[in-house]
Structure 1
């Protein structure tokens, strides 16, 4: 997919009333070390970080503007480690839209895409979705395209599996491009809005598991863009 049709989000004033924002829940899934946290933090702060705690699972809240509409993204950055099936299902039930990420330098992470896509469809097929029987929107993202000499998955292979799964596809470098990363989230929101998923499947999912995942509120993520971002700075903003 080309990046020519997306628009950068316009910065929102801190004083803007969030009651006018539409909240969407996004989960980023994928194996460990594919860059899920780097993608999330790049989107929120415009900065790239190369080192972070791979076990730190967090829900980030970030206010943005997509096509002139105020949107509050709640982004679940999953740890990407092997876990109990019940735990991953709870996270899938929580989200309305999904980003499945893999690294072009890791063939195993690419092979995981198919399993995660079918798991999302299976879990949501068991939920009441109003009058909509369509699976929730999923965007497949191939990260680390800047590491060409370490590449193990071609662009054509990524595009092929995305077409087979009927999902939009992006190949990006979270390290090199903020614009590419923003394009992923903007497109996922458009897919959610046009598919009717937001109106057909508006629900409040609460569980002991999801309640334990720390949150970084929108006011904190706004201030993160003006400071050096590191693992310690993330922990400063974690709330129970």
Structure 2
């Protein structure tokens, strides 16, 4: 299922950050640029008129052991599985990552709680001459896994990236994944990861999928 990008969040004035916002934890999983310093980026904007603070943990491309990835999956309330249309190996990771999310959160699940939502995102659609995975292949695997699907260019269109996070928030809010039980899930490992608020100097030329790599939505 592909999505259009007509419903974008309204920018928030900086003073509005002081108001009470709903926080949602998002983990971006998948292969990507290796060697990054791991950070949780905080971004505040409005989704459907509601103030939302996204805490985005971009783990894509990091080599880590089973305990580390389990802690990060337990921490998150919603997931983006990202792959590059120019990298067949990153596409082949989708099924493994989807299984890990379901398996780990099934162990946390209480009666009546839904498993956290997952959105599948194909990045780098602007690199058509280097494409190795078709749009149809991405859409088909997303349909088989019953996940929303986007094909975007994080470098060229921040609107597309914001649309992904906005839809995922709606999925998280409607699924019950923001329960008190899930929100309390944490660990010493996750507490040590630095939290950084987005800045207006973020570069559009970066290939990271997290909102830190696109235009800032906070205005003076």
TM-score, shorter chain, exceeding 0.5: yes
* TM-score of the two chains, using structure 1 as the length reference: 0.79
Superposed, which structure 2 residues align to 1:73-92 within 5 Å? Answer: 73-92=54-73
Alignment partner of 2:122 out of 142, 163, 170: 142
Superposed, which structure 2 residues align to 1:25-174 within 5 Å? Answer: 25-33=25-33, 54-132=35-113, 134-174=114-154
Aligned-pair CA distance for 1:201:
4.5
Report SS of the residue matched to 1:211: helix
CA distance in 1, matches of 2:122, 2:154: 10
Structure 1 pair 63–228 and aligned structure 2 pair: CA distance change class (3 A): closer
* TM-score of the two chains, using structure 2 as the length reference: 0.86
Structure 1 pair 56–204 and aligned structure 2 pair: CA distance change class (3 A): same
Runs of 5+ in structure 2 lacking a partner? 207-211, 213-220
Aligned-pair CA distance for 1:187:
0.4
Aligned-pair CA distance for 1:11:
1.3
Report SS of the residue matched to 2:184: coil
Deviates more, 1:77-86 or 1:11-20: 11-20
CA distance in 1, matches of 2:130, 2:72: 32
Report SS of the residue matched to 2:101: helix
Structure 1 pair 215–191 and aligned structure 2 pair: CA distance change class (3 A): same
CA distance in 2, matches of 1:17, 1:181: 21
Asked whether the 8 Å contact 2:73–2:101 carries over to 1, the reply is: yes
Moved over 2 A (4+): 1-6, 17-20, 79-82, 199-203, 227-231
Structure 1 pair 79–156 and aligned structure 2 pair: CA distance change class (3 A): closer
Structure 1 pair 152–95 and aligned structure 2 pair: CA distance change class (3 A): same
CA distance in 2, matches of 1:94, 1:228: 25
CA distance in 2, matches of 1:17, 1:149: 42
- RMSD of aligned alpha carbons: 2.1
Runs of 5+ in structure 1 lacking a partner? 34-52, 235-240
Asked whether the 8 Å contact 1:63–1:71 carries over to 2, the reply is: yes
Decide which structure has greater helix share: 1
Q: Which position in structure 2 is the counterpart of 1:206?
A: 186
Report SS of the residue matched to 1:20: coil
1:147-204 Cα distance to aligned partner (Å, 9 max, x none): 0011000000000000010000000011111111111000000111122222375422
